[in-house]
């Protein structure tokens, strides 16, 4: 929640039911003539953009979606030994060059709908090709289309795409990790845990997978266990603010109040406009009876969703203990109006 010759995106916070979970998309290098590597060790989360607009991907409402061919989920073993040798691709193959250009167009698409259409074009155009590069190209197209669909709330279609990406690219951990994020969004936490464990089995230094494993175990109510996973992500990537924020919330739930507040304050010193931590600090200070400090911090929260009690407990999935203090705080604020 980011090696590849390409970089990974870390698009802020993720959809309903997956607090600060990190999907990934393999990006082609701008102007690249050859196809970038699809699956290597992930880039350090600390080198990814942090705290990007918290509404772009955050907590997408699940929309009804049609059943797709394969939305079943089974445990997967990632086979790094099957990674393709891209040096064997014919650099003069016009279809490969065209496919690479389409990949770049998809990554530069102006809307998620246009992006999805380009991945579909690649799948339809090259899915029956006998070229040795077909699984690499079409597999990543399925994975990227899955990301585009999940961003639109098309979760069942996204699952189908990730499954096909995994079939074509059994060496890649990206569709496995991204499928886990979608499973979290659907409340299928046990299955999400299995996907993240599969990624970590071959990429043990992947901070995004550790963070997401924390979220999935948290979804199962295993707060103490999740703290350890978040801590692993932070150790691997100290600048991974999402993991540190998730750890702060989990610590608060299990009664580690002082340590949690220290983590919140530390994050806010680095990222003063981090609305989630600012609102959490306000609620935590209210719980300590520090009304003035709580109100001061609340005035700096510029995201109206934090005043929505249902959103906090349902979509954002704040820990129950923190939700209780925020509700009490909001009751007092409402009474003053």
Q: Work out whether the CA dihedral 130, 131, 135, 139 comes out positive or negative.
A: negative
Select from 238, 266, 284 the last residue of a domain.
Answer: 238
pLDDT tens, 141-166? Answer: 999 999 999 999 999 999 999 999 99
315, 268: one domain: yes
Residue 194, pLDDT above cutoff 70: yes
Closest CA to 263 of 245, 236, 288: 245
178, 221: one domain: yes
**Ramachandran sector of residue 89 (left: φ over 0; alpha: ψ -120 to 50; beta: rest):** beta
Query: What DSSP line would sit under 92-151, residue for residue?
Result: T-HHHHHHHHHHHHHHT-SSHHHHHHHHHHHHHHHTT--STTHHHHHHHHHHHHHHHHHH
213, 147: one domain: yes
206, 268: one domain: no
Give me the phi and psi of 84, to 5 degrees please: -75, 150
Model confidence at 74, pLDDT cuts 50, 70, 90, reads confident
C-alpha angle 285-290-291 in degrees, rounded to nearest 5: 100
71, 207: one domain: yes
Residue 127, pLDDT above cutoff 80: yes
Give me the phi and psi of 207, to 5 degrees please: -65, -30
Q: What per-residue confidence (pLDDT) applies to 54?
A: 28
Rounded to whole angstroms, the Cα distance separating 248 from 225 reads 13
Q: Is residue 244 part of a domain?
A: no
Mean per-residue pLDDT for 103-120?
96
Q: What is the pTM of this model?
A: 0.81
208, 282: one domain: no
Q: Is residue 250 part of a domain?
A: no
Q: What per-residue confidence (pLDDT) applies to 130?
A: 95
143, 85: one domain: yes
Contacts of 108 (CB under 8 A, 6+ apart): none
89, 226: one domain: yes
Rounded to whole angstroms, the Cα distance separating 261 from 226 reads 17
| DSSP-derived 3-state class of residue 55 | coil
Q: Is residue 46 part of a domain?
A: yes
100, 153: one domain: yes
CB 268 within 8 A of CB 281: yes
Q: Is residue 246 part of a domain?
A: no
Q: Is residue 248 part of a domain?
A: no
Q: Is residue 134 part of a domain?
A: yes
CB 315 within 8 A of CB 59: yes
Q: Work out whether the CA dihedral 40, 42, 44, 48 comes out positive or negative.
A: positive
Question: Tokens 């996907």 belong to which residue?
Answer: 195
Number of H helices, E strands in the chain: 14, 0
93, 137: one domain: yes
CATH number of the domain encompassing residue 85: 1.25.40.10
Q: Is residue 245 part of a domain?
A: no
Name the domain count of the chain: 2
Closest CA to 279 of 267, 289, 270: 267
125 or 337, higher pLDDT: 125
Contacts of 99 (CB under 8 A, 6+ apart): 35, 122, 125, 126, 133, 137
181, 312: one domain: no
Rounded to whole angstroms, the Cα distance separating 182 from 199 reads 15
- The secondary structure of residue 8, as a DSSP letter, is B
pLDDT tens, 204-245? Answer: 999 999 999 999 999 999 999 999 999 999 999 999 999 999
Model confidence at 115, pLDDT cuts 50, 70, 90, reads very high
221, 281: one domain: no
Select from 238, 269, 298 the last residue of a domain.
Answer: 238
Closest CA to 140 of 104, 114, 110, 111: 104
Rounded to whole angstroms, the Cα distance separating 270 from 245 reads 12
Domain with 74 in it: 1-238
- Mean pLDDT, all residues of the chain: 83
Closest CA to 115 of 73, 70, 161, 156: 161
Residues of the chain above pLDDT 90, percent: 74
Q: Work out whether the CA dihedral 40, 45, 50, 52 comes out positive or negative.
A: positive
Residue 262, pLDDT above cutoff 90: yes
Q: What per-residue confidence (pLDDT) applies to 75?
A: 87
Q: Is residue 41 part of a domain?
A: yes
Select from 207, 238, 269 the last residue of a domain.
Answer: 238
CB 132 within 8 A of CB 84: yes
Q: Which two tokens stand for residue 76?
A: 């997967």
Hey, which residues does 8 pair with through a beta bridge? 26
Q: How many CA atoms lie within 13 A of 190 on its CB side?
A: 2
């Amino acid at each position: 929640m980011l090696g590849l010759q390409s970089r990974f995106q870390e698009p802020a916070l993720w959809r309903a039911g997956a607090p600060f979970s990190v999907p990934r998309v393999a990006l082609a290098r701008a102007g690249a003539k050859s196809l970038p590597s699809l699956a290597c060790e992930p880039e350090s989360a600390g080198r990814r953009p942090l705290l990007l607009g918290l509404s772009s991907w955050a907590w997408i409402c699940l929309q009804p979606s049609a059943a797709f061919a394969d939305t079943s989920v089974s445990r997967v073993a990632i086979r790094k030994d099957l990674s393709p040798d891209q040096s064997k691709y014919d650099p003069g193959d016009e279809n490969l060059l065209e496919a690479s250009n389409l990949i770049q167009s998809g990554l530069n698409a102006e809307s998620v709908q246009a992006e999805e259409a380009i991945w579909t074009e690649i799948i339809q155009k090259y899915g029956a090709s006998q070229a040795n590069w077909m699984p690499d190209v079409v597999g990543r197209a399925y994975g990227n289309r899955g990301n585009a669909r999940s961003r639109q709330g098309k979760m069942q279609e996204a699952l189908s795409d990730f499954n096909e990406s995994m079939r074509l690219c059994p060496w890649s951990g990206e569709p496995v990790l991204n499928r886990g994020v979608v499973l979290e969004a659907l409340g299928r936490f046990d299955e999400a845990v299995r996907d993240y464990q599969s990624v970590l089995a071959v990429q043990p230094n992947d901070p995004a997978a550790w963070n997401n494993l924390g979220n999935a175990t948290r979804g199962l109510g295993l707060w103490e266990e999740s703290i350890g996973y978040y801590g692993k992500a932070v150790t691997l990537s100290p600048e991974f603010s999402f993991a540190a924020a998730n750890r702060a919330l989990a610590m608060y739930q299990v009664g580690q109040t002082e340590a949690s507040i220290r983590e919140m304050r530390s994050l806010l010193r680095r990222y003063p406009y981090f609305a989630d931590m600012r609102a959490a600090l306000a609620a935590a200070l209210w719980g300590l009876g520090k009304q003035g400090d709580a109100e001061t911090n609340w005035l700096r929260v510029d995201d109206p969703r934090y005043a929505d009690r249902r959103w906090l407990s349902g979509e954002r999935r704040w820990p129950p203990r923190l939700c209780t203090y925020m509700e009490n705080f909001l009751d007092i604020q409402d009474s003053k109006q």
